[in-house]
Structure 1
Amino acid sequence: MLRAMSDAGLVFETIHGRVQPLEWLVLAPHPDDAEIGAGGTLIRLARAGRAVGILELSRGERGTQGSPQVRVAECARAAEIMGLAWRGQLGLPDGELRDTLEGAHALAAVLRAVRPRVLVVPHHRDRHPDHFGSYHLSKRAVHLAQLAKADLPGDPHRVSRVLLYQGNADITPNVLIDVADLQDVWAQSVLAHESQFSGAAISETVTPEIVERRRARMTYWGTMARVRYAEAFEAEDALLVDPLTL
């Protein structure tokens, strides 16, 4: 059920759970992007008792298959499967995601509302304009959210870590996360987006073969990490590591 949330004229919608501080938040240009790129990691964190969530920047209204109404219902089903604490949609225009002041203010307001410690965003090398546009939009929003004098609702919030996830292009990750034990539930969460993955193949990602294709990438990254399947991320800033854990 949709529940509109608004403050100072900035509006986003909660479609699952409740607004609360989150450990991890994944930004998705469109419905299903977060499940494909970071779903296993979110499930692993949720099962460990961490509050995690997804924010769709658009409703995917220009997609070839599925309507916004159908897709929001699919998002809610996937959120239940994954065990998310919160899922929301910002409602920026599909096909036009880019670094604008209006969009950055809207996203920064959400960051102040759900206060993620770790923010996961699409990689800037992705070939899809909405994906690399979302990366650049998120960078401005992260900056605005922490400014005490920014004209935004809510208290300032500083994201501790930004990670980039893999979409439609290759990346050079420096963070690999074991998701081998979560493959069944991960696949269920992806296939909850039935409108995208049960009909004719539209692209290499909008296809009934999506689980098989993404799992091939997980197998590759898993080989690098000496596990069966892994999800890959890139940290732009150096990670401080306890040498006792290496």
Structure 2
Amino acid sequence: MTPEAFRTVYGTVQPLDWLCLAPHPDDAEIGAGGTLIRLSREGRAVGVLELSRGERGTQGTPQEREAECVAAARIMGLAWRGQLGLPDGSLADTPEGAAALAKVLRAVRPRVLVVPHHLDRHPDHFGTYHLAKRALHLAALRKAEVSGEPHRVSRVLLYQGNADIRANLLVDVGAVLPEWEAAIRAHVSQFSGAYISETVTPEIVERRKGRLTYWGTLVRVRYAEAFETEEPLLVDPAGL
């Protein structure tokens, strides 16, 4: 598969309110799943784009992981889920990868883009961040050699993966916690079944839930998902 040949694995290509970039299958669910589910419940068009198929992962095959992505998409109520097909383990800021991602941004035209934090210890995660930066620039340039009409994303949010972040935006996800957990568990090859002992599954979910509890404590809710924005947020004081 060439980098230009992004494809749909669930739903239909359409303008999205929010698009989450996932270096590998399951990253979106773990890092931003609660928020994506809540938005979907509220009638927003939400999508996820996997940049790689996770083909170098220890557990599961690319085919199994794609089927799990479809199952999770149904649980989350996604409008669209796509696959870019870049090489797992080599996600980085390259002209070819950025052009491929810019093509997707022009096709689904998200208002908000959610990407992994650049401080993440996983090379593919911080590689995705830097790749997204270049793609955002290309997608907005009228003279860029990218198919589709130019598109400028209104807001970029960074989600927490494997590193601490200085969160300045928290989302209450308490009402959708069962669906969030179910979406993670849909990735059976990674968190249960023949590959990993069943006893590991609660540990993975509970560790992630601990983060949600911590962030929720700061804003007096039970569970909250954390994001970081690199640009100031304009707030209507009447809503405070």
1:1-246 alignment runs, 5 A limit: 10-198=4-192, 199-200=195-196, 207-208=200-201, 209-246=203-240
Amino acid aligned to 2:196? A
Per the TM alignment, residue 200 of structure 1 is displaced from its structure 2 partner at its CA by 2.7
Displacement of 1:10 after TM fit?
1.9
In the alignment of these two chains, the number of paired residues is 235
Instruction: Structure 1: state its 5+ residue gaps.
Output: 202-206
Identity %: 72
The alignment partner of 1:77 has SS state of: helix
Return the letter of the residue paired with 2:229. A
- In 1, distance between residues paired with 2:181 and 2:88? 25
Superposition misfits of 4+ residues, deviation over 6 angstroms? none
Q: CA deviation at 1:22?
A: 0.2
Superimposed CA distance per residue, residues 99-146 of structure 1 (whole angstroms, 9 cap, x where no aligned partner): 000000000000000000000000000000000000000000000000
**Helix, strand or coil: the match of 1:164?**
strand
TM-score (norm 1): 0.94
* SS of equivalent to 1:10: coil
State the Cα RMSD in Å.
1.3
- What amino acid is the match of 2:91? L
Deviation per residue, 1:188-207 (Å, 9 max, x gap) = 00000000001437xxxxx5
Map Cα deviations across residues 25-75 of structure 1 (whole Å, 9 max, x no partner): 000000000000000000000000000000000000000000000000000
Match of 1:204 in 2: none
For residues 210 and 20 of structure 2, the distance between their equivalents in structure 1, rounded to whole angstroms, comes to 22
Deviations 1:190-237 (A, max 9, x none): 000000001437xxxxx5222111000000000011100000000000
